[in-house]
Amino acid sequence: MNQLDIVIDAITSRRSVRGFLPKPVSVGLINKILATASYAPSGSNIQPWKVHVVTGGKRDELSRQLREAHVRNLPEEREYDYYPVNWRSPYIERRRETGWGLYETLGIKKGDRKASAQQHERNYAFFGAPVVLIFSIDNDLQQGSWLDYGMFLQNIMVAARACGLHTCPQAALANYPGITKNLLGISEDQTVICGISMGYEDSNCLANRYRPARITLDEFVTFHS
């Protein structure tokens, strides 16, 4: 495989994996992935990212507290709106297609709120991944820095693929920032953006069989000449 094919394969094989093996990921490999990701561009090279690597006992305790909050149905404390406040076409249809496509793969029927809640709870078990990355940003940085952050996050996921790992980016891991900040010592002048679960894929996990569709070039590309 030539260099171009390696890069393209790392990008196109990236997907949200929802079932990981308990196999540990070495600190050296984590550092390699994060060092590679740090080459993401940022306006005036301000590099706005802050990464909190959570493993071992701290990972287990974070999971316990987040799952407890979810099971107790505590109100979410998100520090920003990730999704649209008012959903509209074509985004609502794409969201429904993805959500129900996953649930159909898992055998969860429409209206089965108990099974849906249990699947959602797996977010807070990090889908079994041994490594959880929590991302925060200074409160006073603007939209441009958030755009820069997105490129950094993508670099992490692509670099992980190149290293034989899989990831699952999770907006849900920003639902209870008070819990996360308290446990990880993140200061109040930071906003918790999201998390990424990372590890080796469990190929026997049913959820990993689902592949959401991608829209065609005709749907999002306009050429001007």
| Averaged confidence pLDDT in the chain | 97
Look at residue 21 and give its three-state secondary structure.
coil
Q: Band of the pLDDT at 4, cuts 50, 70, 90?
A: confident
Q: Band of the pLDDT at 1, cuts 50, 70, 90?
A: confident
Query: Structure pTM?
Result: 0.96
CA distances from 204 to 32, 59, 200 (A): 28, 23, 12
**Residue ranges per structural domain of the chain:** 14-213
Q: What is the pLDDT of residues 105-162, one digit of tens each?
A: 999 998 999 999 899 999 999 999 999 999 999 999 999 999 999 999 999 999 999 9
Cβ pair 44, 142 in contact under 8 A? no
Cβ pair 50, 136 in contact under 8 A? yes
**Which helix (H) or strand (E) segment is 191 a member of?**
strand 190-199
CB half-sphere exposure, 111, CA atoms < 13 A: 0
Identify the CATH number of the domain defined by range 14-213: 3.40.109.10
Cβ pair 135, 192 in contact under 8 A? yes
Q: What is the pLDDT of residues 25-47, one digit of tens each?
A: 999 999 999 999 999 999 999 99
Q: What is the dihedral of CA 169, 193, 98, 211, to 10 degrees?
A: -10
* Share of residues in the chain with pLDDT > 90 (%): 96
For the chain, the 3-state helix, strand and coil shares in percent, each to the nearest 5, are 50, 15, 35
